[in-house]
Structure 1
Amino acid sequence: MGISSQQPFSSELLLAEFFQRGGASDHHSDGWGLAYYDEQDSQLRHGLQPAFSCYQARRIISRHLKATSLLAHIRKATVGDLKLVNAHPFRRSLWGQDWVFAQNGDLLDYQPELRTGFHPTGETDSERAFCYLFDELSEHYPSRMPSQQQLAAILKLLSDDIARHGSFNYLLANHEFMFAYCSTELYWSSLVFDDVILPGESAGRQEAQSLTEATGQRVVLISTQPLSLYQPWYPMGRGELRLFHKGQLTATLFDPEKESHPLIVPPAFSQSVLYL
C-alpha cells in the first residue's frame, strides 16, 4: 500500500485495515514492513510476525503516525527465507536522497548484471530488481536527479524489461514523489478529505479528523487490492506507470494495447465524500 499526500497524513485507520490482510483476512502472513518520511528523512520498520497479530505493528498504528509519503507491505514469501533482511520495503540512497521500494509479484530466473554499487543484502527477487533499477539510473544520471518526466520515462522502459520475467507490481518513493508500476494488478484512489466514511461507521467530521487534520487535504492511495473506504478505485493498466507528487497524479505512461481491470465502485455513496 502506498500513500502520497500534500500534508502530513494520519494513516492509522488505513494501516489497521491493510495489516488485517497480513494473516487475518488474507494469507500474506510472512512478515510486514513500513517505510515513511518525516520531512526528508526516511524511517523503516519491519517485523517477521503476521502483521495483524504483531504487537510492534499494532503499537505503530496506535501512535497516529503522520507522513507525506508512506509504503506498507505484507509479505507472502516466495523467494528468500523468512528473515528481516528479506522484508520489504527496501531502502537505498541515490542523488543524495533516500528512496524506498516495495514489490508484489514473482520474477522467474531473474539474475541481472549489477555494475555499480547497488547490490542486494538479502535473497529476494524484489530487492534484486530494485538494485537493478538504481544500477541503471545511476549509470544514466550519475551526478543528479533527472526531471520528473525523464525519470518516469526511463523507469517505464526498465520496468517493462523486468516484467518480462514474471509479475512486477511495485511502488518506489522518496519524500516527495511516488512511482507506481503495474504489470498485473494495481489500483489507486484520489481523495480530497473533508469527511471520509469507513465501513461500520457513521459519516461525520470525527472520522475525517482521525485521518487528517487538514480540510481539503489531497491524498492518493495505491494498493494491489482496493481498501474499503467508500470511494471508487481506479485500475492501472498492465505495463502502466504513474507518477504522484504530494497527493496528485502528475504523469501517466501506458501501453494502449494492454488491458486493465474494471473500475471498482463501492455499493453505497454519501454526499460527505468528495470524489475526483
Structure 2
Amino acid sequence: MPNLFAMSFEGALAPSIDLKCLSPGPGQKLPDGWGIGFYPGGEPSAAVLKEARPPEGSMRGELVRQWENLEAACFVVHVRSATWGSITDANTQPFSRSYGRRDWLFAHSGSLSAPLATPNDAIFEPVGSSDTEAVFCALLGELQRHGWKSLADCDPVVLRDWFASINGQGDLTVVLTDGSDLAVYADIVGGASGVHVIEVLPPYAELAFADSDLCVDITKREVKSRKGIVIATNPLEALPPVASEWRKLDPGSLLIVREGAIRSETKAIAPAQRPERRRAIRPPKVLPKTMRVTHHTTYTYKNPVERSIHTLRLTPMHDRLQQVLENRLSVSVDGQSRDYEDVHGNRVRRLLLETPFTELRIESESIVRLLDTDPLDFRSIGPRSTIPLVWMPWHRQILAPFLLPQELPESELQELVEYAMSFVSRNNYDLIDTLLDMNASIFREYKYVQGATNLTTTPFEVYVDRQGVCQDFANLYICLARLLGVPARYVCGYIYTGPKNANQVQSEASHAWLQVYLPEVGWKGFDPT
C-alpha cells in the first residue's frame, strides 16, 4: 500500500477514493490515520478531510468513497503509520497552511531522526508534534525568505537543494502543492521511501488505480478522460492496463507538475559534478536559402475520361516569408485554362479538359527563395502577449475569417474550449508558452496513423481518438487556437529534411501545418506533426 498518493490532471476529476485499508483482513491492522487534500472548483483554497485513529469501517472513509462533490484537478492522499507525535488530527497528514494568498498542502513519506527545531522568530510554527509539519513550516519560511509566493516562483534547483539538506536527517519523500503546481521530491536513498510516477493519456473509457488497501477510480462518475500525472510511493495496478508504465524517480530529484503535464525534472547532482555555467552565445545568423521544388501527380483511369474540370493550387506563395523566382506548371492533356488569385492570395489554375484521356500527368517546378531564416522567433520587442488577446476593431475585422472555429455541435466545442483553456491556465495565460505547449502536446500525445481518418474527420474526433495525420493535427490546433481568440490558418507545402536524414521520404510528399498570427510579429508557423 502506498502511504503517499497524489494526482494532477489537466481538468477537474471526481474520483471515487476507496480506502480499503479501513476494512483490514485477518492479521492486518488499521492505519494510524489518513487524509485527503484537494482544491474544490480549482480555487486557491484547499479542503482537507482526515481522520486520526480511524475505526474499522470508518464513516468518514465511506463518505469519501461516496461523495460526489470530491471534485478537483489536484489531489493528495496520505495514509499514516505514526513515528513522531501522538495519534491526533494535529499530526495527521496532509497538512495545510495559507501563504501568498493561497493554501498549500504538504505530505511526507518516511521519518526523520528527530523533528526539526523551530526558531523563536519563525513565521510559521507547527500545531502538532510531527516531524512532517516541522519540515513544512520550515519550508514555508524558506519560501518567504526568498519572496516566492507560488511554486511557479521557485527555483527548482534551490528547492531541490533545500530538500536535500533536510534529507540528510532521515527518509524524505514529499509532495508539495499550491493548487496549481505539484512538486515531488524523491528520497536521496531511494529505498523504501522512493516514489513512482506514471503518465495517463487519453483516450480511455475506464481507469482506476488499485491494490488491496487503496482504490482510486478516476472514471467511476463518468468524467471525461483527461491527461494526468499520478504519483505513488508504491505503484498501484492500473485497471484496465494503460500504455505507459510506472517509473521510479531518481533519488534526490525534484519533479514539478502542472495540470497533468511535467514542467521540470531536476536531477540530483553532486557538487563536484555540477557543470560550469557558460555564457549563452547567440547562434550565427542564417542566410536565405534557394530551393528547387518539383511536384509530380499522375492520375490513371481504366476507362477514358471524356470531360473533366480541375482546380490546381500548385504555385508557391509569394510573400515576406518567401519569394517565387520561377514557376512552371504543365499538364499532359491539352485543354482550356484560366489563372486567377483566390481570396486567400493563392495562385490558382482552373482547367477544362475535353480531350479523352486515361492518364493525366501534372508537374509543377518552382525555384523559391526562403526568407524566413528564424522560424522560432516568436516574441515581439514589446510587452509579452497574454490571453485573451485584445485587437483593434479593424484588426478583428480583417482577421475575422481566421477566428471562426469549425462548425461543430455546441457540446463538442465546449469540451474543446475546456481542453484549450487547460493549456492557457497551465502557462499562466502567456500566449507564446500556450501555443508552444499545445504544439508539443499534440506532437507527443497523438499517434500518427495513416488511414485512421479521412477528409470529413472533425477536430473533435481527432481529439477523442488521439490519432490522425498531419492535416488532422493541423486542423485540431487551428480549432483550439481560434477558440482562444488567436487567428490561425491552414498551410500546405513541403518540409526539407536534408539529403541524409532518415525522414527524407517525408520531404517527397506534401505536408500540412498551420500559421498563427502573433501581435507585432505576424504569421508564424507551427507544426504539431
Report the CA distance shift for 1:125/1:233 in structure 2 as closer, same or farther (over 3 A).
same
Q: What code does the residue aligned with 2:164 have?
A: D
| Residue 135 of structure 2: aligned partner | 129
Report the CA distance shift for 1:214/1:31 in structure 2 as closer, same or farther (over 3 A).
same
1:152 shift after superposition: 2.3
**1:171-209 deviation line (CA, Å, top 9, x unaligned):** 011221100011030001110232245589xxxxxx874
1:109 partnered with 2:114: yes
Report the CA distance shift for 1:50/1:151 in structure 2 as closer, same or farther (over 3 A).
farther
Largest Rg, 1 or 2: 2
1:218 shift after superposition: 1.0
Gaps of 5+ in 2: 211-216, 271-464, 467-529
Secondary structure in structure 2 of the residue aligned to 1:210:
coil
**1:40-61 deviation line (CA, Å, top 9, x unaligned):** 1210111124487321111122
2:264 aligns with one of 248, 251, 260 = 251
1:250 shift after superposition: 0.7
Report the CA distance shift for 1:241/1:130 in structure 2 as closer, same or farther (over 3 A).
same
Report the CA distance shift for 1:76/1:208 in structure 2 as closer, same or farther (over 3 A).
closer
Secondary structure in structure 2 of the residue aligned to 1:116:
coil
Q: What code does the residue aligned with 2:36 have?
A: L
| Residue 32 of structure 1: aligned partner | 34
Report the CA distance shift for 1:84/1:199 in structure 2 as closer, same or farther (over 3 A).
closer
1:148 shift after superposition: 2.8
| Residue 164 of structure 1: aligned partner | 168
Report the CA distance shift for 1:23/1:113 in structure 2 as closer, same or farther (over 3 A).
same
> Hey, what's the Cα distance between the residues in 2 that align with 1:29 and 1:61?
17
1:190 partnered with 2:193: no
Identity %: 20
Listed as ranges, the matches of 1:177-216 within 5 Å are 177-183=181-187, 184=190, 185-195=194-204, 196-198=206-208, 209-210=219-220, 213-215=223-225
1:137 shift after superposition: 1.0
1:145 shift after superposition: 2.6
| Residue 13 of structure 2: aligned partner | 9
1:237 aligns with one of 212, 230, 250 = 250
Choose between structure 1 and 2 for higher RCO, CA contacts under 8 A separated by at least 6 residues.
1
> Hey, what's the Cα distance between the residues in 2 that align with 1:83 and 1:172?
22
Q: Which moved more, 1:228-237 or 1:81-90?
A: 228-237
| Residue 179 of structure 2: aligned partner | 175
Q: What code does the residue aligned with 1:234 have?
A: R
Quick check: 1:4–1:69 contact (8 Å CA) kept in 2? Answer: yes
1:120 shift after superposition: 0.4
Quick check: 1:104–1:170 contact (8 Å CA) kept in 2? Answer: yes
Quick check: 1:244–1:250 contact (8 Å CA) kept in 2? Answer: yes
Report the CA distance shift for 1:76/1:28 in structure 2 as closer, same or farther (over 3 A).
farther
Q: What code does the residue aligned with 1:98 have?
A: D
Secondary structure in structure 2 of the residue aligned to 1:79:
coil
Q: What code does the residue aligned with 2:144 have?
A: S
> Hey, what's the Cα distance between the residues in 1 that align with 2:73 and 2:266?
24
Quick check: 2:186–2:253 contact (8 Å CA) kept in 1? Answer: yes
Quick check: 2:151–2:178 contact (8 Å CA) kept in 1? Answer: no
Quick check: 2:39–2:47 contact (8 Å CA) kept in 1? Answer: yes
| Residue 90 of structure 2: aligned partner | 85
1:21 shift after superposition: 4.2
> Hey, what's the Cα distance between the residues in 2 that align with 1:52 and 1:8?
31
Quick check: 1:194–1:208 contact (8 Å CA) kept in 2? Answer: no
Quick check: 1:218–1:247 contact (8 Å CA) kept in 2? Answer: yes
Q: What code does the residue aligned with 2:102 have?
A: Q
| Residue 119 of structure 1: aligned partner | 125
> Hey, what's the Cα distance between the residues in 1 that align with 2:246 and 2:199?
8
1:219 shift after superposition: 1.3
| Residue 204 of structure 1: aligned partner | none
| Residue 231 of structure 2: aligned partner | 222
Report the CA distance shift for 1:175/1:51 in structure 2 as closer, same or farther (over 3 A).
farther
| Residue 20 of structure 1: aligned partner | 20
